[in-house]
Chains A and B, each alone.
Chain A
Amino acid sequence: TQLLEQSPQFLSIQEGENLTVYCNSSSVFSSLQWYRQEPGEGPVLLVTVVTGGEVKKLKRLTFQFGDARKDSSLHITAAQPGDTGLYLCAGESDSNYQLIWGAGTKLIIKP
């Protein structure tokens, strides 16, 4: 069974600080997606990484796919209160093309 573990489960920091959240697995994924979900809303896709070692930037957010395509990280620089939300990663299974979801990292940025 393929699993994606996200860490930390919960993170509360002050505005302006930097942070990194992780998405790890022992399985290889064809691609990995990151979503942000705000209270009362469904997840919204932020980025998809496909190639091992790939780095993508979205303003202050930097996403990296591990060289072996088993893990990924999301780094936020100078966090803002608007970054508050639940960050979810989802990997596309190599075997059946279905998405495997992590449980999420709940991020709170305090003004």
Chain B
Amino acid sequence: KAGVTQTPRYLIKTRGQQVTLSCSPISGHRSVSWYQQTPGQGLQFLFEYFSETQRNKGNFPGRFSGRQFSNSRSEMNVSTLELGDSALYLCASSSTGFSTDTQYFGPGTRLTVL
């Protein structure tokens, strides 16, 4: 079974630009969660989608948005990029999205904002 894939793996953008990241979950998984990972901060939860609906949201500004398509693939968008948005963005998929359900992570997209 193919794992979670994320594209692109690396991105370099400048302040003020916007960016779209993509995540393809494991086949059959309907929940996709997005996380921001920075050194010393751990993983910060962005949002979770299940069957095309945002079910949970973390404490991030409205510049961070996402969506999920009918095939469970998900995209995350960050508008008006700031230097502090530089991070590894991880997505994770699971069958149900419940915290007791195993999450499978993709390799992440490394975003650098200059």
Query: What is A's interface to B at a CB cutoff of 8 Å?
Result: 4, 9, 30-31, 40-45, 48, 88, 90, 92, 97-99, 101-104
B32 at interface (Cβ–Cβ under 8 A)?
no
Asked if A101 meets B102 with Cβ closer than 8 Å, knowing A40-B107, A42-B4, A42-B108, the reply is no
**B42 adjacent to A41 (CB under 8 Å):** no
Q: Give the 6 A-B residue pairs with the shortest CB-CB distance, closest first.
A: A42-B105, A103-B42, A101-B43, A101-B42, A92-B99, A97-B99
Known pairs A44-B105, A92-B99, A103-B42 / 4 extra A-B pairs, C-beta < 8 Å = A90-B43, A92-B100, A99-B99, A101-B45
- Distance between Cα atoms of A9 and B39 in the complex (Å): 10
B80 at interface (Cβ–Cβ under 8 A)?
no
- Distance between Cα atoms of A92 and B100 in the complex (Å): 8
B21 at interface (Cβ–Cβ under 8 A)?
no
**A42 adjacent to B90 (CB under 8 Å):** yes
**B107 adjacent to A103 (CB under 8 Å):** no
> Which of A4, A40, A42, A44 has the largest number of chain B CB atoms within 10 A?
A42
B26 at interface (Cβ–Cβ under 8 A)?
no
B41 at interface (Cβ–Cβ under 8 A)?
yes
Specify which chain A residues have a CB less than 8 angstroms from the CB of B45 in the assembled complex: 98-99, 101
Q: How far is the CB of B91 from chain A (nearest CB, A)?
A: 8
Asked if A97 meets B98 with Cβ closer than 8 Å, knowing A40-B107, A41-B107, A42-B90, the reply is yes
